[in-house]
């Protein structure tokens, strides 16, 4: 059986059960005044208590997991009925057997003997069933939550892993373009790429990073893009507030900026990309504006929708009910507005 965090140890559980059964036996003795009554209770009480405990654990450890939890209702009912009959017979034999050693007045009439163990047996049945079913429900709920958490973690890891090669392919294609032109900026581009890859390989492994590091990553990316594009493209990147005090999941903002450079750059017309990041005590606001230029897609940008689809899904998983994403596209202008509230 798998172990679950916070589950009591077997020794602790056994000690609690023993304490409860001992209490069942000794507490009634406190309310019996006569010595004869106490003697009778001890002789008959321990036997009824043993039957009750046996029925409790038979149902708890065997009948419920073997039949009830497997939805074998009819065999379960038949076993319960058969067990009750056996308990009645065992009690009958015990009472008349012990009667040879006791006075006749210690033995109740035969019609009472058959029903005497019925009430403690029904109590044992009710307690064992309630405890086992409740425990199974809590265990299933715990397993369900653990499975959901594991699924969420796996899905986030998969989505984040798709961001890295997607960005890498685009950047390598940019450097390749510079190399073909024999540009002096090729070396600077490689250095910038090394800085970016260091962040992606080291810091992005963490569940969360400082928003300041994410901003630095965006700055390096933008500088890398400046080396590729012409002077006709104006880039405005503004950061308002203090990002160092917030923690964010790594590589969460880059797809929006990357998308602007894919579709908002023209070598024939004047173009402008405006990126605004406004940071508050417990939230951030990102706005990206660019024009849309119809041009032949580069090989690395044919799957340009992958990054946006992934980040939208990541936002749904990471900040449910705590983020707002608006994407406006009228065919000429493209605007993204993202708001995230970090405080629960």
Predicted confidence (pLDDT) per residue in 18-47, tens digit? 777 777 667 666 666 676 666 666 666 677
**Cα end-to-end distance, the chain, whole Å:** 36
Structural domain spans, the chain? 10-116, 151-341
What phi and psi, each to the nearest 5 degrees, are found at residue 241?
Answer: 100, -170
3-class SS at 341? strand
Q: Give per-residue pLDDT as tens, 270-300.
A: 889 999 999 999 999 999 999 988 654 444 4
Q: Give per-residue pLDDT as tens, 175-213.
A: 888 788 888 878 888 888 888 878 877 776 777 889 999
Q: Are 133 and 64 in contact (CB under 8 A)?
A: yes
Q: What is the mean pLDDT of the chain?
A: 78
Least confident of 68-77, 125-134, 222-231, 334-343: 222-231
What integer pLDDT is reported at residue 285 of this predicted model? 97
What integer pLDDT is reported at residue 99 of this predicted model? 52
Which position has the higher pLDDT, 1 or 127? 127
Percent of the chain with pLDDT over 70: 73
Concatenating the DSSP letter of every residue in 195-234 gives HHHHHHHTGGGSS-EEHHHHHHHHHHHHHHHHHHS-TTEE
Over 60: is that where the pLDDT of 86 sits? yes
Average pLDDT rounded to a whole number, residues 131-144: 85
The CATH architecture one would assign to domain 151-341 is 2-Layer Sandwich (3.30)
What integer pLDDT is reported at residue 104 of this predicted model? 45
**Among the ranges 1-5, 141-145, 202-206, 232-236, which has the highest mean pLDDT value?**
232-236
Distance CA 231, CA 222 (A): 14
What integer pLDDT is reported at residue 341 of this predicted model? 94
């Amino acid at each position: 059986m798998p172990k679950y965090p916070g589950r009591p140890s077997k020794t602790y559980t056994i000690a609690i059960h023993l304490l409860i059964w001992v209490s069942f036996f000794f507490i009634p003795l406190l309310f019996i005044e006569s010595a004869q009554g106490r003697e009778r209770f001890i002789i008959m009480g321990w036997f009824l208590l043993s039957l009750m405990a046996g029925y409790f654990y038979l149902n708890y450890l065997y009948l419920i997991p073997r039949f009830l939890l497997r939805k074998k209702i009819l065999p379960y009912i038949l076993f319960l009925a058969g067990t009750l009959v056996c308990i009645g017979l065992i009690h009958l034999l015990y009472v008349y057997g012990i009667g040879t050693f006791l006075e006749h007045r210690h033995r109740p009439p035969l019609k009472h003997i058959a029903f005497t163990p019925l009430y403690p047996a029904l109590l044992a049945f009710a307690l064992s069933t309630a405890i086992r079913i409740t425990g199974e429900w809590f265990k299933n709920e715990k397993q369900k939550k653990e499975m959901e958490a594991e699924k969420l973690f796996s899905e986030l890891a998969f989505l984040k892993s798709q961001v890295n090669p997607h960005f890498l392919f685009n950047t390598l294609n940019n450097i390749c373009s510079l190399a073909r032109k024999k540009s002096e900026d090729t070396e600077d581009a490689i250095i910038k790429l090394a800085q970016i890859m260091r962040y992606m390989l080291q810091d992005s492994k963490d569940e969360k990073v400082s928003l300041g590091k994410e901003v630095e990553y965006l700055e390096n990316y933008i500088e890398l893009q400046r080396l590729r594009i012409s002077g006709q493209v104006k880039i405005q990147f503004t950061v308002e507030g203090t990002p160092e005090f917030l923690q964010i999941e790594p590589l969460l903002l880059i797809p929006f900026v990357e998308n602007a450079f894919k579709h908002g750059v023209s070598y024939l017309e004047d173009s402008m990309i405006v990126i605004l990041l406004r940071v508050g005590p417990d939230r951030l606001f990102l706005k990206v504006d660019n024009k849309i230029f119809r041009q032949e897609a580069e090989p690395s940008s044919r799957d340009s929708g992958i990054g946006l689809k992934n980040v939208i899904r990541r936002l749904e998983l990471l900040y449910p009910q705590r983020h707002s994403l608006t994407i406006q596209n009228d065919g000429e202008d493209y605007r993204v507005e993202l708001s995230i509230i970090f405080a629960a």
